[in-house]
Each structure stands twice: as structure tokens, then as C-alpha cells.
Copies of this chain bind each other. A is one copy, B any other.
Amino acid sequence: MKKHNFSAGPAILPHSVFEEAAKAAVNFNNSGLSILEISHRSPGFSAVVEETIQLIKELIGVGENHHIMLLSGGASSQFYMVPMNYLDPTDRACYLDTGSWSAKAIKEAMKFGHVDVVASSKEENYTYIPKSYLLPEKAKYVHVTSNNTIFGTQIHEFPETDIPLVSDMSSDILSRKLDMERFGLIYAGAQKNLGPAGVAIVIMKKDWAERAKREIPSMLNYQTHIEKNSLFNTPPVFPIYVTMLNLRWLKAQGGVSAIQERNLEKATLLYDEIDRNPLFQGTARKEDRSHMNVTFLLNNESLNDDFLTLCKQAGIENIKGHRSVGGFRASMYNAMGIESTRALVEVMQAFEEKYG
């Protein structure tokens, strides 16, 4: 039976990527050696790093004015690396609090400088993206979380400001076209749309901000990784390789524009069913709904386990909601085909027939 993997992350990647990754784990590029045993400074792996960086640039639409870094430590490390590198103790940064990940980013930034939380939807359990708030005239940056994996919300209009935006895009990078000129820096853990767990990417405008005046360990200084082209120390070789395979796949699909259409199609199909089906309700405000993570509830929560059982029987995996929201969460990243969304919608309809 085909499995439909709705996991929030680490998450689905194309099956062809798994097969190519498996092949390289035994014999990389017909070298007779595994990708797991070769030097990160070998010509074979240098080419992987080069291609990964080029594919990111091409797919996201940036050129020579941006640095790309492949780092370890996930987005969680960027929560402190951004302020450590850019926020002097007397500097001010603005943060929009739209969920658990924003809150963690805020907590880490407060260790380095002044943090203005310009708006928060915490009091309504992060069911929406705050929109009417004032930004100061001057701040080092405005930090936003573009998509909130846990709460199923997504920023569809980024704040209009001359202050550089910094965005955690872990769960929606490369899922939609964005004007990269508005962002000073974006970062993303790989394990949703980019690749497997174990690598994170940072995309930084070359001229975006003045560096903070503090002593920073070499490994935490962006400049180190820029100068060494992400090869200052041994990088996570296999996660980077699989990321490259996944980016090749995305390019072959027609790139970000093509995948954005397919993502919209999947999201529309599922949200339409949630709105139509009298047994279910969505948890996020309609205008802020995420196209990546669809959060929804059964009106009668005592039926939750029955619904999960029916899902399991249809090969639908990892659909249970996060404990802070409850109910269900369908994460439908780039690699998910619409047939998986259809399978879920069919189960919802069968459930309606049974209990409606």
C-alpha cells in the first residue's frame, strides 16, 4: 500500500531522491566508494557543494549580490547567530511573534540586544498573523517567521518597511515566489522543503547590515563560512548531498513557480473540504492559512481516534496535530503529490458518510 506521509518535519521528499541517495550510500558517482566515506574536500564532494549553492541561487532567484551558506545546527542555531552577528547591545531589532518558533527566536535575541516584539497573536493561540502594528523608523532588522508549522498560519503579505527583513523560512522556503530584494537574510532548516535533517541554509544580502562589535567564535561568525564557502570544517556531507538531489528534482519539476501552483492546488483542495464538510473546522483564520501545514479539528473531538484509524487504513501517516493545537495537521510540502491530498479528502468524506 502506498504511504502518504503528512509529517511536519523531517518530512516527505521525492521517492526518486531516496533511491538516488541509497545508491550513493553504497557507490557514489561510480567511484566504488560510499558518499559516507569520502573527504569533504574531494573533487566529488566539492562539486556537490558548488551545485547545491548554484541550485539554491537559481531556484530562489538571487545572484551575485547574495551569499549562500550551508550550515549545521538547524534553524535553532540561527535564532542566536543572527543577533550574535548583527545586534550590538545598544541595537534594536523588531520581532513579530506568530508562534512557538518566533517565540524561541525572540528568547535567544534578547540575550544580545534590545528586542521589540511589535505584535503577537499569542493570546489567541497564534491562530492569525498580526497585521496592524507600527514599525519604528530605525531598527537593525525586522524578524518574521514566514510559515508557522505548528499553528498552520503563513505570512501572505510581508511587512512594508525600509528596514531589512530577516525571515525564518524553514517550513515554506522554495514553496512560493518571493521578492528576495526585501530580505536582508533568510534562513531555513532543511528538513521540510529542502532536504533531510542535518543541514540549514542561510541566504544573506551581501550589503545588508553592519556587523556587531563583539568577539564571536569562528564557527558562529557568518564571515568564516562565507570566506570558506561553507567548508571551514567538515560539513554534514550526506544531508547536503540529498539536498542537492532534492533541488535537482525541484528544478526538473519546473522550479518554484510550477511547485507554487501545485502547492496552491493541494491546499485549496483540502481547505475546501474542511470548509464544506460539516464534521470538520479549520483552526487558522482564513486569510492567514498556510499552504504548507493545514491544521483542522473534528467538531466532535471524541471521534479523533476513529478518524486516525481510518487514515491509517488508507496509508495516511503522521496526520495527528501538534499538542498545542490538537486535532489534525496535514503537512503538504513540495514533494507531496496531489494524490495524497485526494486520499485524505476521500477519508474525510468517508468519515462524513459514517458519522455525519
User: Chain A interface (Cβ within 8 Å of chain B)?
Assistant: 1, 3, 5, 7-13, 17-19, 21-23, 25-26, 31-34, 36-40, 42, 72-77, 79-80, 84, 104, 107-108, 111, 189, 191, 196-199, 215, 217-220, 232-239, 242, 317-318
Contact = CB atoms under 8 A, between A and B. Distances in A.
Interface centre among A1, A199, A233 (most CB of B within 10 A): A233
A36 B21 CA distance: 10
Nearest to A71: B73
Ranked 5 nearest A-B pairs via Cβ: A198-B236, A80-B217, A76-B233, A22-B22, A22-B25
B33 A3 contact: yes
Contacts of A107: 218
Contacts of A21: 25, 36
B72 A198 contact: yes
B77 A234 contact: no
Q: What is the oligomeric copy number? A: 2
A98 B36 CA distance: 28
A37 B22 contact: no
A8 B39 CA distance: 8
Contacts of A215: 111
A26 B36 contact: no
Given A74-B72, A79-B219, A111-B215, A36 B236 contact: no
Contact of A10 (B22, B36, B74, B218): B36
Contacts of A26: 18-19, 22
Contact of A196 (B19, B73, B238): B238
Nearest to A39: B7
Contacts of A3: 31-33
Given A26-B18, A72-B74, A76-B232, A196 B39 contact: no
Contacts of A238: 196-198, 238-239, 242
A285 B33 CA distance: 33
